[in-house]
Amino acid sequence: MHFTVKTITFFAAMIATTHAAPANSTVTRSVKGWARFCDDANCSVNCGISVNVENPGCLIERGRGSVLYNGPYLGGIALLASPGEGCGCQSSCVPHFWAISGDNTCFNLEDNPGSSYRFIHGGCPANNCE
């Protein structure tokens, strides 16, 4: 197969465009998945907006019963629960949250209740709420 310089240049430009980050973006990692907290245990009632599991920010989700996960099986994400609304301490943790979740998988929070949650990379640190 024979390609001209013009054709090769065109394909190179297309590849660069499809892989380029937005101009104002500082994101360097790809998204591993998205999660939505829901009120019931079956991920069907009053589900919130999707959040990126790569974002370690505190999510105030008091009274939620489940998390709906959308994304591939990729490694290194844990879900931490805190009884307070500011993620000030850790009362429980779901290690390898990604391993028990898959695309469109519902995870019941019955054993990991909290008022706030956050996703972190790596395993679970020790619980530290008194």
Asked if residue 82 lies in contact with residue 52, where contact means CB atoms within 8 angstroms, the answer is no
Q: What per-residue confidence (pLDDT) applies to 128?
A: 96
Q: What per-residue confidence (pLDDT) applies to 105?
A: 84
* CATH code of the region 31-121: 2.60.20.20
Tell which residue, 46, 57, 40, 39, has the closest CA to residue 116. 57
pLDDT in tens, 92-127: 998 877 666 567 888 899 999 999 999 998 889 999
Q: How far is CA 70 from CA 93, 97, 98, 106, in A?
A: 19, 12, 10, 9
